[in-house]
A and B are shown apart, each in its own frame.
Chain A
Amino acid sequence: METLTHLLSGFAVAGTPTNLLIALAGCFLGTVIGLLPGLGPINGVAILLPIAFAMKLPPESALILLAAVYAGCEYGGRISAILINVPGDAGAVMTTLDGFPMAKKGLAGPALSISAVASFTGSLVATIGIVAFAPALANWAMAFGPAEYFALMVLALSCLGGLVGDSLPKALIACLLGLALACVGIDSNSGVYRYTFDLLHLSDGIPFIVVVIGLFAVSELLLMLESHHADTQAASLSGRLLFNLQEFMLARWTIVRSAVAGFFIGVLPGAGASIASAMTYATERRLAGKDHTFGAGDVRGVAAPEAANNASAYGSLIPMLTLGVPGSGTTAVMIGALTLYNITPGPSLFQDQPIIVWSLIASLFIANIMLLAMNIPLIRLFVKFLDIPNWLLVPGIAAVSLVGVYAVHGTAFDLVLGCLLGGFGYLLRVMNFPMAPLILGFVLGDMMEQNLRRALSISGGELDILYASPLTIGLWLAAAAMLIGPRLLRLVERRRAVALVSA
């Protein structure tokens, strides 16, 4: 009952005309950012956050904007996946498999509309999931001490490190580079300047926006130049726009199953939208038995990944809101957004700042309905954005990104630093280093160090406090399993495949 009262007060905040307008703008911008290949939710949130900050939006409005952008990106990614066979963001990779064949058959309209309904259902299921589980989880997490927190953050990093990238050292290096970047600046406990090299601009640490824009936006521009020549022919959006009853009946249970599965995968740290969409796609393909056209334009092949993709994106908000520990790159960026407003996410957030949390959750409901309305009748408008030529789009992104960096501190130092990080990020990305662990490490670095030092202050320097409680032991074991498990499994599978071939 208490939850419902909170939710209603959240709706009261999110439902004011200004905030509704902000949500509408966020949904629109989010969809556009999501559908532009190369720009995903991380860039979207990172570019818009400092602008919202510089516009002096109050914290709850800024969060509503970010939530709407985040939600919009998850809808937008599918548009380019279906029409030009290029996923707009990582979660939409699986959508290309059946979406583009459908579009080539002249069924672009039904593919877009069924995936909009799938996205809507996924988001709705996950938002209800947040309302149902988040307050309880936050309550439980209140009992966490610094040692538990430290272990939990190691778990979050190792989940992401174990699942992404092509080798373990690379994923770990990415984590550690993020942690190392977080060490720059004045140490808040002792006042010692660390790794600032007497540069005044570095004394507060490297601003979060500089790292994100540099590593994601600037390096993305450089990568876009590499792939620029691969011109793709867009499928045209002609014929009927809406799916018919037969298509809906075929896909309805797929949508519900994938939404629920996607939500739970999203709650786990590390396993984000791309894993959720890949897993549900594979499951649905298997469940379909012999009678399917997966890979050649099956509606279920579009519905499953899109429902899972949105559900897991929303589900990953749970660890961020309740534990203050993000599980994905985008939620790490959102944590950074909150700290810009001096809000520290974590279990106490639900008690100290209920308005902020619940207006955020309420705005997810509102944004979702707006997005469904935008994405079915107004789809032709968004398709137009795919026609923006790169010679106008790329310099525009460059300018807007740097405006975002400049908006925070107003110094050219930050801009130059961001560009240098962008060059470094380009090298990392060319060499297949995963970027999500890096940004997660950067966001968690300070919290990890603080909790480690606090824990050791409590114990007077004895290390065994780190593995004294059953909870910490469990977390350490889980971290080790997540780090080694996925790769071990892959190795075993490869051995078995080799054995089969040679037998």
Chain B
Amino acid sequence: MSERIFGVGLLLLASGGLWFGWDLHAPVEYEPVGPRAFPLLVYALLGLCSLALVFARGKPVRWAPPPVLLRVGGLFAIVALYAFLFDKLGFILATGLMVVPVSRCFGGTWKQAVFSGAGLAVGLFILFDRLLDVALPAGLWLKPVLG
């Protein structure tokens, strides 16, 4: 069943792609194949394949039990939030805040979670930003301190 629903979703994606692709015109056409042919071909084939997925007799998908699925959703939200706050809070603060709940998710005690949060945040910042020359956002609060 999940496969069929997903197939319908893909079908919508394919129609969206065709809808937006149809209006792609080059201002000056100097080659026989313009910018829209390839995407239209891809989305048309995608539509056909998702039809096959909707109507084929697929094996049932084995989803994780609901409590685990809820935690997966939570983990996804944490990582997405981390991505969003990465440059706003700066690497050290954002990483510290991300590590603690993720660490708890994977069986760490509160003590272990807090220690790995602090350790990873500071350790990775020193490793990448200072030793390996990969510039990371310090965040507004830390900039004046580091100079």
Contact = CB atoms under 8 A, between A and B. Distances in A.
Q: Do A and B come from one complex?
A: yes
Interface of A: 51, 54-56, 166-167, 169-170, 172-173, 176-177, 179-180, 183, 187, 189-192, 194-195, 218, 221-222, 224-226, 228, 389-396, 398-400, 402-403, 406-407, 410-412, 415-416, 418-420, 422-423, 426-427, 430-432, 448-449, 452-453, 456-457, 460-461
Given A192-B25, A394-B102, A51 B134 contact: yes
Nearest to B38: A449
Interface in B78-127: 79-80, 82-84, 86-88, 91, 95, 98-99, 102-108, 112-113, 116-117, 120-121, 124
B49 interface: yes
A425 to B, nearest CB: 11
10 contacts: A51-B132, A169-B53, A176-B49, A189-B35, A190-B35, A194-B35, A389-B112, A398-B82, A410-B135, A426-B72
Contact of A391 (B6, B71, B113, B132): B113
A406 B132 CA distance: 14
A391 B103 contact: yes
A390 B107 contact: yes
Interface string B15-57: 0010011001111110111110111001101100110110010
Contact of B2 (A221, A431, A448): A431
B10 interface: yes
Contacts of B133: 54-56
B116 A176 contact: no
Contacts of A393: 106
Contacts of A226: 64, 68, 72
- Give the interface size bracket for B toward A: 35 or more
B75 interface: yes
Contact of A395 (B50, B64, B91, B98): B98
A125 B82 CA distance: 45
A457 B83 contact: no
A57 to B, nearest CB: 10
Contact of B99 (A170, A399, A419, A448): A399
Given A173-B49, A392-B116, A403 B134 contact: yes
Interface of B: 2-3, 6, 10, 17, 20-21, 24-29, 31-35, 37-39, 42-43, 45-46, 49-50, 52-53, 56, 58-59, 61-64, 68, 71-72, 75-76, 79-80, 82-84, 86-88, 91, 95, 98-99, 102-108, 112-113, 116-117, 120-121, 124, 128, 132-137
Contacts of A218: 79
Contacts of A172: 45, 49
B14 to A, nearest CB: 8
A189 B34 CA distance: 8
Given A167-B56, A176-B42, A190 B107 contact: no
Given A225-B71, A412-B84, A461 B32 contact: yes
Contact of A167 (B37, B39, B58, B88): B58
Contacts of B116: 391-392, 395-396
Contacts of A54: 132-135
Residue among A192, A218, A411 with the highest chain B CB neighbour number at 10 A? A192
B28 to A, nearest CB: 8
A419 B32 contact: no
A142 to B, nearest CB: 24
Given A173-B10, A391-B116, A399 B95 contact: yes
B124 A423 contact: no
Contacts of B63: 430
Given A225-B71, A395-B116, A452 B33 contact: yes
Given A173-B46, A394-B103, 10 more contacts: A190-B26, A190-B34, A192-B27, A194-B39, A394-B105, A402-B82, A422-B76, A426-B76, A432-B59, A461-B33
B26 A402 contact: no
A83 to B, nearest CB: 20
A452 B34 CA distance: 11
B35 A51 contact: no
Given A392-B116, A412-B87, A430-B61, A221 B79 contact: yes
Contacts of A456: 31-33
A195 B63 CA distance: 32
Contact of A176 (B45, B58, B98, B99): B45
Given A169-B49, A169-B52, A225-B106, A432 B135 contact: no
B110 to A, nearest CB: 11
Nearest to B134: A54
